[in-house]
Amino acid sequence: MGRRWVAVTAKPGRIFRTPAPAAARALRGARLEKAGRRGKVLLLEFDGGKVLLVHLGMSGQVLLVPPAEHPEGHVHLEAALDDGRKLVFRDPRKFGFYRLAKAGETDSLRELAGIGTDPTAPGFTWEKFSADLRARKGALKPLLMDQSFFGGIGNIYSDEILFASRLRPMRGVETLTPVEAKDLFHSVRDVLASAIGCGGTSFDEAFTDVYGKPGLYGGRLAVYGKQGEPCGHCSTELKLIRSGGRSSVFCPHCQK
């Protein structure tokens, strides 16, 4: 934080929802004051009331690199910092987006509309969670990934949360007992806290922190991506099911 973007290069393309030349001009000379997140969208706040929204999609990276380094290909935005380093945004598959906005208008932007409570934020309480849960119906797995219910949970952590709470992916929300609902609440917080502490989950070089270091939570995964392997708790073969275009891995014995 506190670094000034002394030069900015933006590559025009569909990934920019604000025209790339305009975004580059607006960010040139701006000082980055705060970095935050809402759901899966990064919020980079600059002096002068400018906010850059960044969604990394499936393959995006934000890298902080020394002056002599040049990341290979797929660079959509590059900022030269006042300390000589560079901040580089890469996205090989181009599923992410960038949008420049004003600080006072972020709540009205369609990219942030309808995003639910962040499970890592202080506002994620048992009282709010239980009230929101009672208002919902349908299967648990799609609910956990519904960004209007939770902001930020994807396929990996929804599988891990459900395994930790001993609930099957397609179990109906309305069938949960009070004890099961409380277990789910605690599992959401515990799994995400553990994953964040490990720097996330990396399966290839695309998923790293700003220094290029991979996340280490992959070594703790209990079910995600492990279909056909024995459950680490009971040795039952883990099963894969598909619903609504999404896959889920679970233990038929441990999860009810």
Write out pLDDT tens, residues 17-34: 999 999 999 999 999 999
3-state secondary structure of 1: coil
**5-108 CATH fold:** N-terminal domain of MutM-like DNA repair proteins (3.20.190)
At 149, phi and psi to the nearest 5?
-95, -55
3-state secondary structure of 133: helix
Return d(Cα 188, Cα 120) in angstroms, integer.
9
CA atoms within 13 A on the CB side of 240: 10
| pTM to 2 decimal places | 0.88
CA atoms within 13 A on the CB side of 105: 12
Domain range summary for the chain, segments of one domain joined by +: 5-108, 126-250
Write out pLDDT tens, residues 167-224: 999 999 999 999 999 999 999 999 999 999 999 998 766 678 898 899 999 999 999 9
How far apart, in Å, are the Cα atoms of 119 and each of 5, 97, 171, 232?
32, 23, 21, 26
Taking the domain 126-250, which CATH number applies? 1.10.8.50
Q: Enter the DSSP assignment of 254.
A: T
Taking phi over 0 as left and psi of -120 to 50 as alpha, with beta for the rest, 55 belongs to beta
Taking phi over 0 as left and psi of -120 to 50 as alpha, with beta for the rest, 37 belongs to beta
Task: For the chain, give the number of residues.
Answer: 256
On the question of pLDDT at 13 being above 90, the answer is: no
The model's confidence at residue 92, banded by pLDDT at 50, 70 and 90, is confident
Return d(Cα 185, Cα 126) in angstroms, integer.
7
Return d(Cα 108, Cα 50) in angstroms, integer.
15
Write out pLDDT tens, residues 110-134: 999 989 989 998 889 999 999 999 9
